[in-house]
Structure 1
Amino acid sequence: MDRPSLGKRSSFPALQVPRQNVQSQLVEISNEQKHRSFYGYTYPTNQVPAPPQNPMAFDSSWPLLGGAWAVTNYGHFIATNTINEENTNRIHILSASQDAHGGYQGLSNVADAAVYLPQTKVAWDPLGSGNGTQLRMLSTGDCLRLWNLNMATGKLDAVSPLVKRSKSNPEDQPAPLTSFDWNNIDNSIAITSSIDTTCTVWDLNTKTVRTQLIAHDSDVYDVAFLAQTPHKFVSVGADGSARVFDLRALDNSTIIFELPPKFPGDAPAPLLRVAANPTNANLLACIAYDSPDIYILDVRSPRNPASILEGHQGPVNSIQWAPAHVGQNCIVSGGDDCQALVWDVSRADRTPTAAFTDTGQINSVFWCPTGEYLGVTSGRTLQAVGFNRY
């Protein structure tokens, strides 16, 4: 079966929720057009595309935190998770539907799953489903959860929670998990980060722990495998450091970056998220708590960032490198300034090359594997935003 498309690009030149003053596509910013505003880099208002007839968006009953996009023989599937501290939370599975002519129709909610606590991250199997009907998904929150989506029927099943119990007191609840990464070379391996200072490597085939290590002096907030290896990973945490580990030699780790304190005597701000470039094992990006900056790191040159991307006018909440065929140095960020910005980190001017503006703070940004679209969550809405490689 051929790999599906979301439809002809000409069938929906703009993708947006029909709200006033919402930019519907990522728009390239030339040097002549670039200027500052309260919301960061924008573009002339006379170039805003007209709203489409059928918005490619999904509205939940609760605020949405994150998302992940998969392209399969059965179509495009998007997973997104709610954040609600008072009630049961949900994982929504969305499908990008098409008409008989291959045109775009919109996003439909094809499956749901209830979870008690908000999930901190969701991700599809990085190696896909092959030719089968089952697509695996992972999520973290109170534990690591493995899911199966039957793409033919639209049914989402929880396979089993993966929990590491204390040997001394098996009844104790494990510490909440802040994030995870799924290895894209060996998809039997996943690694989780936790507020108990540890990172845990899981064998998804046996549902058991391979190893656990104390990674930081305090909470670990994110973790990511380096490109093209099942052995090396990077973690960031509340101590303001980014550390690289090798599972083959866990006696040592390398601190590749420590965020300096704003004022002498202060503790550094926590590093909240880290993203590993999918093709270059030396290139990383991370963001700090309450900071508008994105730190680009080169593991070969520890301590100092290779560059700092400055374009947001509020804290950055989410970063993700683009698929390799979009550009090996391309990354997207989303933040409290209602902006999603696309950057090419190889450019000397270190300014955004494309921008999308929403009406609310952006919680997460994530790429479609084809590179044609970006998923953006803001408030209770998830949008698919068109991206034209320039």
Structure 2
Amino acid sequence: MSLQMQLGDGKPTNFEDNSSPSSEVFTYQAPWPVYSFNFSNHPSYPFQLALGSFIEDTDNSVQIIQLHPEMGRFEVKTTIPHTYAPTKIMWIPDLEGSHPHLMATSSDHLRIWRSDESGVNVLANLVNNRHTDYCGPITSFDWNANDLTMIGTASIDSTCTIWDIERQAMRKQILTHTKEVNDIAFGHDSNTFASVGADGSVRRFDLRSLEQCTILYESQGYVPLLRLAWNKIDPNYIAIIMMDSPLVTVLDVRSPGMPLAILQSHQNFVNAISWAPNSSCYICTAGDDRQALIWDLRRSLGEIREPMMVYGAEAEIISLSWSVLQPNWVAIAYNKSLQLLKL
């Protein structure tokens, strides 16, 4: 059954938790507050996730867990120590399973890990050696799906760095914003990426021609932009969220400066956004109003106030992930809870 058929076209649908093994919602209780997490993309591990602790201390952790949906329980595969809370966790975007099962995490450094039957071991610990006296925290990163050796990181020092993780070397460092860079995302080819920053702008870059960039959007009053998500099906669409804002702005890169749509049903700040991995029109948003909302952009453009699907959590939702392997599963995190929701 396709995602479109499952989501339907009716009024907003509400999902409720229940505790039976056939539940549409599975909840894992971590031993610490959860911030970053990600579904594995390996076809052999469709219900495996990595999640990171959010502790205001040097000593943090990353856990790898496995959901057994037929039994309704989670299995903790391993727990590894991590220096500082991971600002982002990603598994290698290898949907064929033809590469080693790699994972990347960011905090003070970019770390590359290998997960196999023997456990999880660090392969690389990447840091910009140009500034040996100070290492600015990495705020976010993205793994290039068209070149699996390439990862781009965003930093508070106003730069983005492109890494070759195979050679464990820096390819390029680009001054992308006038203030901190809060997020980065690659486009539909290996050379294009976009970033958002505390200067309130969305900027698009081409690695083949870094002499100039395209400013796709600037927020009113230059309010800092926190996150962006690039539509994986239609490269024309990018979604962004601003600091301390209940709004989600959708951009068409063909029309810089002019929002295509503004999603405005959240009652408090939005913290996370994710496009459906197999559709150009569905997007999930989540925030401090304890809601995860799914929107259908085919319904209307401009100001959109009614989502097509609503899920209410027990607390403020800090992050979300939409499974690429199984597009009818979305996961959210709040407090010490990680929830998997079947659409």
TM-score (norm 2): 0.91
Residue 166 (structure 2) aligns with: 205
Match of 2:3 in 1: none
Please show how residues 1-390 of structure 1 align to structure 2 within 5 Å. Answer: 30-31=10-11, 43=14, 48=16, 50-53=18-21, 56-75=26-45, 76-86=47-57, 88-97=59-68, 103-128=70-95, 130-131=97-98, 134-150=100-116, 152-153=117-118, 155-166=119-130, 170=132, 172-226=133-187, 228-261=188-221, 268-324=222-278, 327-348=279-300, 350=304, 351-369=306-324, 370-387=326-343
- Aligned 8 A contact 1:298 1:306 in 2: yes
In the alignment, the residues of structure 2 paired with residue 280 and residue 300 of structure 1 have an alpha-carbon distance, to the nearest angstrom, of 12
Q: CA deviation at 1:61?
A: 1.8
SS at match of 1:56: strand
Q: Please identify the structure whose Cα radius of gyration is greater.
A: 1
Cα contact 2:41–2:91 (8 A) shared by 1: no
CA–CA distance in structure 1, aligned partners of residues 190 and 18 of structure 2: 45
Q: Confirm or deny: 8 A CA contact 1:292 1:313 kept in the other structure.
A: yes
| CA distances 1:279-305 after superposition (whole Å, capped 9, x unpaired) | 211110000000010000111100121
CA contact (8 A) 1:27 1:356 kept: no
Offset of 1:105 from its aligned partner? 3.2
Report the CA distance between 1:129 and its aligned residue: 6.5
Contact map agreement 1:319 1:334 (CA 8 A) in 2: yes
Q: CA RMSD in A?
A: 2.0
Write out per-residue CA displacement over residues 164-185 of structure 1, whole angstroms, 9 at most, x where no aligned residue.
112xx63x13211000000001
Q: Percent identity?
A: 32
What amino acid is aligned across from residue 304 of structure 1 in structure 2?
M
State the shift of 1:116 in Å. 2.1
Distance 1:362 1:250 in 2: 37
Q: Work out the CA distance in 2 between the residues paired with 1:149 and 1:159.
A: 10
Q: 1:296 & 1:178 partners in 2: Cα distance?
A: 22
Aligned 8 A contact 1:29 1:355 in 2:
no
| Equivalent residues of 1:374, 1:385 under 8 A apart | yes
- 1:86/1:174 Cα in 2 relative to 1: closer, same or farther (>3 Å)? closer
Task: Give the drift of 1:51.
Answer: 3.8
2: distance between equivalents of 1:80 and 1:93? 7
Residues of 2 paired with 1:87 and 1:322: CA distance? 34
State the match for 1:22 in structure 2: none
Aligned partner letter, 1:136: L
Distance between the aligned counterparts of 1:278 and 1:27, measured in 2?
19
Unaligned runs of 5+ in 1: 1-25, 35-41, 262-267
Deviations 1:350-369 (A, max 9, x none): 32111111110001111122
> How far is 1:106 from its partner?
1.9
List runs of 5+ in structure 2 lacking aligned partners.
1-5
Q: What TM-score, normalized to structure 1?
A: 0.80
Count of aligned residue pairs for this structure pair: 331
Judging changes above 3 Å, is the alpha-carbon distance between structure 1 residues 161 and 200 closer, same or farther for their aligned structure 2 residues?
Answer: same
Q: Following TM superposition, by how much is the alpha carbon of 1:371 offset from its aligned partner in structure 2, in angstroms?
A: 0.7
Mapped contact 1:270–1:288 kept (Cα < 8 A): yes
Checking the alignment, whether the CA contact within 8 Å between 1:141 and 1:178 is kept in structure 2 is yes
- CA gap of 1:159–1:93, structure 2 versus 1, over 3 A, is same
